[in-house]
Chains A and B, each alone.
Chain A
Amino acid sequence: MAGVIARRARKQRVFRWTVLTVLGVFFVLPLIAMVEFSTRDSTTWPALVDWPELSERYPALAEGITSSLSQAALTALLMLFLLVPTAVWVRLRLPRLRRVIEFLCLLPLTIPAIVLVVGLAPVYAWVTYFFGGSSLTLVFAYTILVLPYAYRAIDAGLSAIDVRTLAEAARSLGAGWGTVMWRVVLPNIRSAVLSAAFLTVALVLGEFTIASLLNRTNLQVAINFLGKSSATMSVAVSLTALLLAFVLLLLLSLLGGRRRSATAVAPAAPAAPAASVASKEPAA
């Protein structure tokens, strides 16, 4: 009997390691190839970490990097500014609208980016008219694009606390709505807010379709453009962007793990959206 169990355990172990190895090779091999390719020209990596030189040799790339970083930061801010008060207000005052809001927020996930662009193009004619043609105007489109992930993360955070009772308790103690949001709600959904922000940054850094089709620049557009003139540099930048996204998602899952272990009534950490973001990450 014991022998059968030991044999089965051994078989399972072998199977596990085989799957892990195959998958590992599948994922790591292209990365290794990227490292190998991007180091063929010895000036590539030193140029990438030397910002003045980078912006002189590859001005389009430098612009793409700054655009993407500012887009990511602004999108995260705009998303939080719109979504957190809305989600809290819906829970407090309009609980019947929750399903509708959830549906609306999930829509961008079901609409292909290309279709989104077709709809956005005429809107962006107006955006350009009012705000000019800066690549930062992509922030509006990106805020819509990140809604599904950000909403899920924030909603999960709010589900873990009794927002209504906490808000009422704070109100009865003399707190105005600003104080309720700032001193009571936000500290209790801090990790959810961070999750939403990280997902937003990861998503915006990897976005290509909308930026390209709306003729604006960002990191991915610049990489694509660079690929035509300096292949090694474009691969090096892709690799860096990929690693940055990995680090962000790793931080995210660490955050989720810590929250799970910190409280007895742990909320469902937004692991699912994180996974789907990873799969949507464009291979630059």
Chain B
Amino acid sequence: MTGVAVQLHGLRRTFGTVHALDNLDLAIEPGEFIALLGPSGCGKTTALRVLAGLEDADSGRVLVGGKDVTALPANRRDMGMVFQAYSLFPHLTALANVSFGLSLRGRGKSLARAQEMLELVGIAAFADRYPHQLSGGQQQRVALARALAIEPSVLLLDEPLSALDAKVRVQLRDEIRRIQTEVGTTTLFVTHDQEEALAVADRVGVMRAGKLEQLAAPADIYLTPATPFVAEFVGLSNRLPGTVVGNEVEVLGTRLPLLSPSSTASVTALVRPESVQVTPETDGEGRVLTTSFLGPISKVTITVGDVLVVAQVATDRLPSLTPGTPVRVSLQPVPVALA
């Protein structure tokens, strides 16, 4: 099965004085997996709910497969949705939950199809259990099976992993990606977790105040952020003072290329911790302040004058970087954004 294209045109939605959607445009290719990422209140969930028909836009249009569905109620939009909160029907077994949508469509063999879907999400063994007998991760798997069972034209995922613990979250995240690739349904995934968004999506849309700041492949979002907001929101960044010299900015004695030109001379550059190199040196200008162990990679905080710099180092280098150690700090010449 191949997916359908989805277009959101000029969507506006206001709650009181808050613009949840501010002229939002978004085009999703058939079969594409798009993640909407942003801080809470940026309008990403509203965008998804407008697409689902659960919320009305004040203006704008929603097109699915070229058809205008703006005026269609949610139950006639043919979309599968997985919610943040556990949304399984408590009085039905896992199997009955999955076959609910199928039975509404009056399809024969709905139980066989439901069983098939439970197999796809890997919990066929729990078909007869009620939701309260399932763990959070299992419940979300059933919810995913239920959403996919009706063969929706679009799959909508509204922070489906946020209530799960870290390990299950990563597992289910990868599983969602696998299943989506397998069935090929156009998917919109809303999350505030950047790691999640970057890990699973074909393209990531970063939203802010009801607008799309950037829509690009995960690597592009991370490496060449279009706006300072994206640069700051996605990944960790050091905010370091710098001086603009032509198309470059001089930070801590190193010249770094600029992602976009600047007219002011004195600026704040956003430098990723992995671009900071630290070398112990007796006459180094920096001092190690703290170190934190994070597994194979660790974090080192250094003071250079009155500037704090966070660097990422391989953990096996930690013994040579105890707090108080004088170090030299250098930056890799990768393009940087300005705050």
Contacts and interface: CB of A to CB of B under 8 A. Distances in A.
B91 interface: yes
Interface stretch (A48-56, A67-75, A163-171, A197-205): A163-171
B74 A171 contact: yes
Interface in A166-188: 166, 168-176, 179, 183-184, 187-188
Contact of A165 (B52, B83, B100, B104): B83
B208 interface: no
A172 B79 contact: yes
A115 interface: no
A4 interface: no
Nearest to A180: B75
B76 A166 contact: no
Task: Sort chain B's interface into a size bin.
Answer: 20 to 34
A237 B77 CA distance: 59
Contact of B90 (A161, A170, A174): A161
Contacts, number: 71
A171 B77 CA distance: 10
A183 B156 CA distance: 23
Nearest to A168: B54
Interface in A202-256: none
Contact of A172 (B74, B85, B91, B105): B74
A188 B104 contact: no
Contacts of A5: none
B146 interface: yes
Contact of B75 (A176, A183, A184, A263): A176
A264 interface: yes
Contact of B104 (A168, A173, A264): A173
B75 A166 contact: no
B85 A174 contact: no
B101 interface: yes
A169 B132 contact: no
A171 B100 CA distance: 11
Interface string B76-88: 1111110101111
A170 B100 contact: yes
B105 to A, nearest CB: 6
Contacts of B78: 174
A165 B89 contact: no
Q: Which of B52, B89, B132, B146 has the most CB of A within 10 A?
A: B89
Contacts of B156: 172
B101 A166 contact: no
Contacts of B52: 168, 172
A174 B75 contact: yes
Contacts of B86: 162, 165
Nearest to B150: A173
A175 B87 contact: no
Contacts of A171: 53-54, 73-75
A169 to B, nearest CB: 4
Contacts of B132: 263-264
A172 B81 contact: yes
A174 B87 contact: no
Contacts of A179: 104
Contacts of A172: 52-54, 74-75, 77, 79-81, 147, 156
B275 to A, nearest CB: 43
B91 A188 contact: yes
5 contacts: A168-B54, A168-B81, A169-B87, A171-B54, A172-B79
Interface of B: 52-54, 73-81, 83, 85-91, 100-101, 104-105, 132, 143, 146-147, 150, 156
Given A172-B156, A174-B105, 6 more contacts: A168-B87, A172-B81, A173-B150, A175-B75, A184-B89, A263-B132
Interface of A: 161-162, 165-166, 168-176, 179, 183-184, 187-188, 263-264
